[in-house]
Structure 1
Amino acid sequence: MLLKDFYSVISTKRNEGQFFTEIKIRKDHDLYKGHFPDRPVTPGVILMQMFKEELERQTGKNLQFSKANNVKFMAVVDPNVDDVLVLESEIEETAEALHLKGVARHNGCLALKINASYNWV
């Protein structure tokens, strides 16, 4: 985990080529002291990192971010409003890379859409 103890996995459901993971964000994590003390906001790059870490956990392989074809941040992820985040992912594995189509939902809203590729390390 890039940010130690930033989140914990509540549950994961996996179907062929898809997974759904519920994550509990630690709203008292040091990250929020700087981003931002009066209104905590989870940085978009952290949301992207969470997808990478979940892909590594699901595949049991180390990955390196390669490229993003499309990333859209749709809503603020404020852990004081709701400290649960749901990652929904479709993955396709090739010999060269792992390809992800994912969305993150927070407080019932779409927070992030991402299409990205990761190389095997």
Structure 2
Amino acid sequence: MLNNSFYQVINKQETDGSITLTVEFNAAHKIFEGHFPGQPVVPGVCMLHIIKEQLAGHVQKQIILREAAQVKYLNIITPATVPVAEIVIAFQPAGEQLFSVTATITANTTTYCKAKLLFGVV
């Protein structure tokens, strides 16, 4: 679990089909020691994990990524220059025990990640 260690949710709004979060990255987290020393960068896999973690908490089910139909990393997030980001997760049922997700990660006017994902209930 990365919540409350790698990142912290500082604002959250939830509806039946979406979650909008403001998260603050912990620049002192150990992940940044290896990714990358002297030039910390938020790993793409961690961005996807945040989306998964927040969706799982919202639907109150254990989920697993079944398909990453499209994932685009458009800019690099460095915790020194982008300590806070907004994540919008739109989701809907996509069959039995599946959730179709469209997510974006932005800060100010810059988009850092766009993803179309499919999660399944474990």
**TM-score under structure 1 length normalisation:** 0.92
> CA offset at residue 15 of structure 1?
2.7
Runs of 4+ in 1 over 2 A off after TM superposition: none
Q: Which runs of 5+ in 2 are unaligned?
A: none
Q: How many residues align?
A: 121
> CA offset at residue 107 of structure 1?
4.6
Q: Which residue of 2 aligns with 1:69?
A: 69
> CA offset at residue 59 of structure 1?
1.1
Aligned partners of 2:86 and 2:107 also within 8 Å: yes
Q: Which residue of 2 aligns with 1:15?
A: 15
Amino acid in structure 2 at the alignment position of 1:49: H
Q: Percent identity?
A: 24
- RMSD of aligned C-alpha atoms? 1.5
SS at match of 1:56: helix
**TM-score under structure 2 length normalisation:** 0.92
Q: Which runs of 5+ in 1 are unaligned?
A: none
CA distance in structure 1 between the partners assigned to 2:5 and 2:34 by the alignment: 17
> CA offset at residue 8 of structure 1?
1.0
Amino acid in structure 2 at the alignment position of 1:14: E
CA distance in structure 2 between the partners assigned to 1:55 and 1:16 by the alignment: 11
SS at match of 1:95: coil
